[in-house]
Structure 1
Amino acid sequence: MHSRSLLFTILTAAALGPAAALAQTEAACPPILHHTFPRLQDEKPQNLCQYSGKVVLVVNTASFCGFTPQYKGLEALDSKYRARGLAVLGFPSNDFAQETGSNKEIADFCESTFGVKFPMFAKSSVRGPDANPLFKELAQVSGTTPKWNFYKYLIGRDGKVVESYSSMTTPDSKDFVRELEKQLAAPQVQ
């Protein structure tokens, strides 16, 4: 959806009231983003449909992992490309026994240690039968589940999964950044 069309949809829906606004926004939302999760810092629900038309990078995270310094690179990506339409979304998980803290402890750690400002969501499972619905869908669509912390899924502006990347792929990896920039250059879909 073009940004003008999306803006028109949102403004029109807003004029009709909150329930209509939500219905209009969700109608324009790709299925992969039709999920609501509690935010990490305050556990208030956040609908992922607000990222419709953006390039979305979904990452499962952990505070006590050898890959934890990737938070710095993810924050740098978010800061550099946010204005061009990137949304980095972090999902802490203890699936690999490296995220034992509470949501508040995780939020404090991410902010104080790495200056994380990109959206982070409450701790949840990202693999297996208890995986949160987004990660279940990402696994089904991509054919892969997170093998470890800091596994990444890149979703294009059209809401389709472009690629998944292992924990070994750093946020500044040339091939990854090349694909990210290609997706950011793509026009928004209607």
Structure 2
Amino acid sequence: MSLADIRTDYQRASLSEDQVNADPLKQFSIWFQEALDSKVNEPNAMSLSTANANGRPSSRIVLIKDLDQRGITWFTHYASRKGEELAANPHAALLFFWPELERQVRIEGKVERVGDIDNDTYFNSRPLASRHGALASQQSKVIANRSLLEQRVEEIRVQHGEKVQRPDHWGGYRLVPDYFEFWQGRSSRLHDRIVFARNEHGVWERSRLQP
């Protein structure tokens, strides 16, 4: 079979304007809960796309760690590639894909750093080995081999034990959304696409996009 012959005909559900909540954050929460209830594989995984000051994009998978009316939060190393790009260009895009439900959600907006209290609370909730790793790794920087990384982790473990404080270079980002697209797969590629865009007055406006 050639790559051009690989396709899936989506037939599980539909999405109409009268089915979506007027608040896209609430609609996203509904879909996210349905993904959890359906036990899809890693429902909290999202593609995060950033761009540097010259507009060159990059994407990677990160995990959503909080969702409220302020936006969507994840945690990382501030000096990583994504951290450096967000410092230069604070706009980003998220993509959730739940193939078991034949759904995806695109979210765009401006990104801000999370405060120290929230950072400390989440950091202290992480497994001890992950906290050691956050201190040991200079994320996105070149290292000669894995042995050096493992040696550094062991040094951190011996030095800090269970008393690991959050390093200044590690913390959260929150994407404050101004755009949502809810995509429901349909047969014959005639997918449903319902979009919410925040206007200049901060009001969400809804529309349907052609597939």
What TM-score results when the alignment is normalised by the length of structure 1?
Answer: 0.30
Kindly indicate which of the two structures has a greater share of residues assigned to helix.
1
What TM-score results when the alignment is normalised by the length of structure 2?
Answer: 0.28
Kindly indicate which of the two structures has a greater share of residues assigned to strand.
2
Larger Rg: 2
